[in-house]
């Protein structure tokens, strides 16, 4: 303790720079000058709240090179949806509102063009089956 001087400052640990400082052009240039590796990537769909995602099997179908065909809802299912909706005296818009989906999705299911999503089908069954 005799060698300690009041004018000297000892840093035990240097403060880490903030993330925003690391992303600045100045920080990138200094890292390149020092020979450090610099990786830059852009966010993909960063600001979107995507709730409707296809099944995991769609990626598998995309990778196949033989026959690129997505299974769609059968005509029997689409007719049942139309029949159930008409029995409840609901329009496509009313049904879409009750299941928290877009009207276009209900239209696709009733036309037999939609790729089956179990969550959407369960919502429709719950509303139409009551």
List, as one string, the DSSP characters of 46-82.
TT--------THHHHHHH-SS--------HHHHHHHH
Which residues are CB-neighbours of 61 under 8 A, at least 6 positions away? 68, 69, 70
Class of domain 75-128: mainly alpha
Q: How much is the pLDDT for 44?
A: 66
| Rounded Cα–Cα distance for residues 108 and 96 (Å) | 11
Question: How much of the chain exceeds pLDDT 70, in percent?
Answer: 75
Q: How much is the pLDDT for 84?
A: 94
Q: Indicate the domain borders of the chain.
A: 75-128
Each residue's pLDDT tens digit, 2-12: 566 777 777 77
Contact between 64 and 105 under an 8 Å Cβ cutoff? The reply is no
pTM of the predicted structure, to 2 decimals: 0.48
The distance from CA 21 to its chain's CA centroid, rounded to whole angstroms, is 29
Question: How much of the chain exceeds pLDDT 90, in percent?
Answer: 42
Each residue's pLDDT tens digit, 40-93: 777 666 666 666 665 666 667 667 666 667 888 999 999 999 999 999 999 999
């Amino acid at each position: 303790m005799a060698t300690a001087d009041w004018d000297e400052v000892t840093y035990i640990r240097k403060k880490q720079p903030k993330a925003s400082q690391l992303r600045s052009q100045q920080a990138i240039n200094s890292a390149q000058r020092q020979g450090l590796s610099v990786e830059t990537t852009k966010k993909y769909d960063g600001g979107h709240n995507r709730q409707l995602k296809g099944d995991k099997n769609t990626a598998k179908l995309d990778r196949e090179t033989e026959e690129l065909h997505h299974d769609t809802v059968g005509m029997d299912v689409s007719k049942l949806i139309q029949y159930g909706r008409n029995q409840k005296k609901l329009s496509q818009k009313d049904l879409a509102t009750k299941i928290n989906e877009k009207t276009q999705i209900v239209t696709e299911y009733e036309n037999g063009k939609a790729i089956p999503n179990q969550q959407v089908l369960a919502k429709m069954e719950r509303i139409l089956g009551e």
